[in-house]
């Protein structure tokens, strides 16, 4: 892919509108200075002392953050937050990114999903400790579900691309309930030429007439529910073809350090990545791929170009340790010049 083509596509990002439908989490980092540990008088356990906090939108919020950093013109959040302190912090961080919250509904019945990440600070280095998750383990409130359902006509009509992020593994405990998924599929059938793109941890096989982004394990698990080990590449190719044939929309399967393979009208194309410096933090890498691939497609990229840009963006975000990473055009061009200038696609 030529450098000038990357610039050409990025220059179009400011003209597109993207809606993200899904589970908006708060990523909350707690920096704990281990030198200040003290015993609790009440429990005799170690009391950790938090000296700094960092908050970022997570899950679907990571996607909107990446869209914003890439320069996308208008970004809409579609989902819910709890009427609680974490919800307040999440909305504040979304506002900083210029995300439109018109369709992000508040509810007293659900909590704001939150990933709390203790970062142990020792000798100037932060190391992540056991994460503490706050999630909803009860069915999504019917009232907020209906509000989301009722806005989908407008969301699909008024945006150039739609991203669906089904973060919750538990059925019907997040934004993408069965009813909402069915309505998304119905909308996708109506909007034949619109870019509609889904990422689901546990249910990609249930999305029809929609482009899919998943990893190599998830694509094979979609057709073999008993799979519990890393699949072979030939199985990834076979299952990726099945996914494309099922949906008739491009599919993008990430391969970790081996890049990405994409299935679509151009055929099956392997897009390698480059070996960038360590250390890595792969948290949020998939969301950055989703944001960059969809932005590129909406700007006019073909499936191979979109996958190539997705690989570059992911290679940037994984090198940002202890934050929810994003990538700008400046960083993309610098990374292309340093590592990706000689990377070429291959037809599989």
pLDDT tens sequence across 190-238 = 987 899 999 998 999 999 999 999 999 999 999 998 888 999 999 999 9
Take residue 317 and report the two structure tokens written for it.
Answer: 């975000």
Mean pLDDT for 127-139 is 96
What values do phi and psi take at 346, rounded to 5? -145, 140
Domains of the chain plus CATH, in order, are: 3-37+49-347 (3.40.1190.20)
* DSSP structure string for 196-247: EEEEESS-GGG--SSEEEEEHHHHHHTT-TT--SPPPHHHHHHHHHHHHHHH
Whole-angstrom CA distances from 293 to 2, 229, 278, 297, 299 are 17, 27, 24, 6, 10
Candidates 19, 162, 124; CA nearest to 78 is: 19
Percentage of the chain with pLDDT > 70? 100
* DSSP structure string for 274-316: --PPSP---TTHHHHHHHHHHHHHHTT--HHHHHHHHHHHHHH
Is pLDDT above 80 for 69?
A: yes
What values do phi and psi take at 10, rounded to 5? -60, -35
DSSP state of 42: T
**Count of alpha carbons within 13 Å of 284, Cβ hemisphere only?**
31
> How far from the centroid of its chain's Cα atoms is residue 177's Cα?
18
Q: What is the pLDDT of residue 57?
A: 95
Q: Do 326 and 66 touch, CB atoms closer than 8 A?
A: yes
Distance CA(313)–CA(267), nearest Å, equals 23
Mean pLDDT for 16-31 is 97
DSSP state of 122: E
Q: What is the pLDDT of residue 278?
A: 76
Q: What is the pLDDT of residue 336?
A: 95
Three-state DSSP at 119 gives: strand
- Range list of H helices, 43-177: 60-70, 85-96, 142-158
Mean pLDDT for 118-129 is 94
Angle subtended by helix axes 285-298 and 60-70, to nearest 10: 50
Query: 323: pLDDT confidence band, cut at 50, 70 and 90?
Result: confident
Q: What is the pLDDT of residue 321?
A: 78
Query: 285: pLDDT confidence band, cut at 50, 70 and 90?
Result: confident
Whole-angstrom CA distances from 97 to 71, 87, 214 are 10, 16, 26
Query: 333: pLDDT confidence band, cut at 50, 70 and 90?
Result: very high
Give the tens place of pLDDT for each residue, 161-191. Answer: 999 999 999 999 999 999 999 999 999 999 8
Q: What is the pLDDT of residue 193?
A: 84
Among 4-13, 64-73, 157-166, 324-333, whose mean pLDDT is lowest? 324-333
Give the tens place of pLDDT for each residue, 249-272. Answer: 999 999 998 999 999 999 999 999
DSSP state of 2: -
Q: What is the pLDDT of residue 203?
A: 93
Three-state DSSP at 282 gives: coil
Query: 88: pLDDT confidence band, cut at 50, 70 and 90?
Result: very high
pLDDT mean across residues, the chain: 94
Q: Do 117 and 128 touch, CB atoms closer than 8 A?
A: yes
Model confidence, pTM: 0.94
């Amino acid at each position: 892919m030529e450098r000038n083509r990357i610039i050409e596509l990025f220059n179009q990002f400011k003209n597109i509108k993207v809606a993200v439908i899904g589970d908006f989490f708060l990523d909350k980092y707690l920096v704990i200075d281990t030198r200040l540990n003290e015993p609790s008088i009440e429990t005799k356990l170690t009391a950790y002392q938090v000296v700094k906090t960092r908050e970022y939108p997570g899950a679907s919020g990571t996607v909107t953050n990446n869209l914003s950093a890439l320069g996308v013109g208008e970004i809409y959040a579609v989902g819910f937050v709890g009427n609680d302190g974490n919800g307040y912090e999440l909305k504040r961080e979304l506002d900083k990114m210029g995300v439109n919250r018109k369709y992000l509904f508040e509810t007293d019945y659900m909590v704001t999903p939150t990933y709390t990440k203790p970062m142990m600070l020792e000798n100037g280095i932060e190391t992540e400790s056991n994460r503490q998750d706050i999630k909803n383990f009860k069915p999504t409130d019917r009232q907020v579900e209906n509000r989301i359902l009722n806005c989908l006509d407008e969301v699909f009509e008024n945006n150039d691309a739609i991203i669906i992020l089904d973060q919750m593994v538990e059925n019907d405990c997040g934004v993408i309930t069965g009813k909402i998924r069915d309505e998304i599929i119905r909308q996708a059938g109506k909007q034949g030429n619109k870019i509609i793109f889904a990422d689901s941890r546990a249910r990609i096989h249930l999305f029809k007439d929609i482009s899919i982004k998943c990893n190599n394990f998830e694509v094979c698990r979609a057709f073999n529910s008993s799979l519990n080990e890393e699949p072979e590449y030939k199985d990834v190719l076979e299952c990726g073809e099945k996914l494309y044939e099922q949906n008739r929309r491009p599919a993008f399967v990430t391969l970790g350090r081996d890049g990405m393979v994409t299935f679509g009208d151009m055929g099956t194309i392997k897009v390698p990545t480059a070996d960038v410096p360590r250390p890595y933090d792969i948290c949020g890498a998939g969301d950055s791929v989703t944001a960059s691939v969809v932005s590129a497609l909406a700007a006019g990229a073909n499936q191979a170009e979109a996958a190539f840009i997705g690989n570059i963006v992911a290679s940037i975000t994984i090198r940002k340790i202890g934050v929810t990473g994003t990538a700008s055009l400046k960083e993309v061009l610098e990374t292309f010049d340093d590592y990706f200038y000689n990377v070429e696609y291959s037809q599989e």
